[in-house]
Amino acid sequence: AQKITQTQPGMFVQEKEAVTLDCTYDTSDPSYGLFWYKQPSSGEMIFLIYQGSYDQQNATEGRYSLNFQKARKSANLVISASQLGDSAMYFCAMREANTGNQFYFGTGTSLTVIP
């Protein structure tokens, strides 16, 4: 079974609007962390935001927030006030306490911001 599922291969959003990128995960480990990364066309992976499985509140980092629904095993990324520079691939990833060292990545969502 896939550890991380991103069902939206591509998304479009109007500049200055908000957009939600979906991510669901599968784990039996009660302790885990969820991460979102941005990969622009230049190829590097940029860390955006983190949510721990025991965190009571949704994580926020500037224009990024994470809609964490633990019972549904979803960790959707919300980008508010989209900017042209937000156009990129976005990857959801998970790290489990039991497996520790490796990150499991989804297949990514390509976001295009339209002026």
Partner 1 sequence: NAGVMQNPRHLVRRRGQEARLRCSPMKGHSHVYWYRQLPEEGLKFMVYLQKENIIDESGMPKERFSAEFPKEGPSILRIQQVVRGDSAAYFCASSPTTASLQETQYFGPGTRLLVL
**Residues lying near partner 1 in the complex (CB under 8 A):** 4, 6, 31-33, 35, 37, 42-47, 50, 52, 91, 93, 95, 97, 100-108
Q: Which is nearer to partner 1, 28 or 42 (CB)?
A: 42
Report the nearest approach of partner 1 to the CB of residue 73 (Å).
Answer: 17
Report the nearest approach of partner 1 to the CB of residue 53 (Å).
Answer: 8
Distance CA 3, CA 36 (A): 14
Report the nearest approach of partner 1 to the CB of residue 115 (Å).
Answer: 26
Q: Which is nearer to partner 1, 28 or 115 (CB)?
A: 28
Helix (H, G, I), strand (E, B) or coil at 82: coil
Q: Which is nearer to partner 1, 79 or 94 (CB)?
A: 94
Q: Give me 31's structure tokens.
A: 């302790």
β-strand 10-14 against 109-114: which pairing, if any?
Answer: parallel
Distance CA 39, CA 16 (A): 20
Specify whether the CB–CB gap between 107 and 7 falls below 8 A: no
Report the nearest approach of partner 1 to the CB of residue 9 (Å).
Answer: 8
| Amino acid identity at 27 | T
